Amino acid sequence: MSYLMLDIEGTSLQPEEAEILRHEAVGGLILFSRNYQDRQQLTALVAAIRQVKPELIIAVDHEGGRVQRFREGFSEIPAMGDILPAAKDMQQAQIWARELGFLMATELLACDIDLSFAPVLDVNGVSEVIGTRSFSANPADVSQLASAFIDGMEQAGMAAVGKHFPGHGSVVADTHLASAVDPRTFSEITAHDMQPFKQLIAAGRLQGIMPAHVIYSAVDSQPAGFSRYWLQQVLRSELAFNGVIFSDDLGMKGAAVAGDYRARARAALDAGCNVVLVCNDAVGARSLLTDFIWPTTDNHLFTSLKPEPLKVMQALENEPRWQRAVTIANEIRNA
């Protein structure tokens, strides 16, 4: 079946939250800074969640730069957009990106967290909410550096989830706070913003994709995450993506055009999302667990999101590489 990914309130799992996690429609949990006190507490929290539902996908937004949920006790990962300017050349930047992907993934996997929603594949443009979250303003550079970052993630055992399809970098509005409209033509979007997605999908590098809550008005009246055209015709058919499609947070203002939470979830699922996210609204999330029909989907999709145990073990035992990656992170941040 398709699944709901939701969140919890604090640094420990409450009995009523555990009961919600047991619902058959709940397939994932996303963690935030409010869920983190220190590594020992985080590990205990994840263990408590696993005791309730071992198969749950546990995720976090831990890209680096300003989007890193866990700080104290974790390495400070630089913004992806700072890698290339700090490097001597693209070759050096790719080496650094690979090691940062490894660093990010190993530190999360060490706490038994399955996924970071990364990398950002948006091409940097006018969007302030993207900015240096993007690797570059050049689509080719984004593709090369993201591919290297994914190398590091894969070497640690973590799957990659690219966002925000087909590209959020060329629209000013922040979809967390407002509806965003990009008036460009389909050919303009595909020639520029969509190139990193296209290339990495063709190379088989992405196990998951998160679409944008942006309306590309010359293409479809619905945001990409609610659009059968973008998700079925373009992403599934034309680009041949066969992984998991995660909605962006249905609580964001950019999703409000679809109606209440049930209407938003129905629109996302009908468009082709396999997992819908509802964050920072427990009442809204619970509304999707009563009198709401969850469509069936091919569950083998979700097996690709779980870390590979052998790779994880090998990565966690590779302390010299971890130390080199920390040194690289510090060098970029101090450049």
Residue positions forming the annotated binding site for substrate: 61, 69, 133, 163-164
Pick the catalytic residue from 122, 176, 182, 220. Answer: 176
Structure tokens at 65: 């730069």
- How far apart CA 173 and CA 166 sit, in angstroms, is 16
Closest CA to 173 of 164, 185, 161: 164
Which of 127, 248, 265, 287 is closest to 193 using CA atoms? Answer: 127
CB 139, CB 84: distance < 8 Å: no
Q: 280: phi > 0 → left, psi -120 to 50 → alpha, else beta; which?
A: left
Marked catalytic residue, from 192, 248, 249, 281: 248
Asked if 270 is an active-site residue, the reply is no
Query: What sections of the chain are H helices per DSSP?
Result: 15-21, 39-52, 83-86, 90-109, 139-156, 186-191, 195-202, 228, 261-271, 282-286, 300-303, 309-316, 319-333
Joined tokens for residue 311: 């790779």
Take residue 81 and report the two structure tokens written for it: 């957009």
260 in active site: no
Q: Say if residue 309 is preceded by a cis peptide, omega within 30 of 0.
A: no
Residues 6+ away with beta carbon under 8 Å from 155 = 98, 101, 102, 311, 315
Q: How far is CA 298 from the centre of its chain?
A: 21
Cα end-to-end span (Å), the chain: 47
- Four-residue CA torsion sign, 5, 165, 70, 328: positive
Cβ neighbours of residue 159 closer than 8 Å, sequence gap 6 or more: 114, 115, 153, 207, 208, 304, 305, 306, 307
Catalytic machinery residues: 176, 248
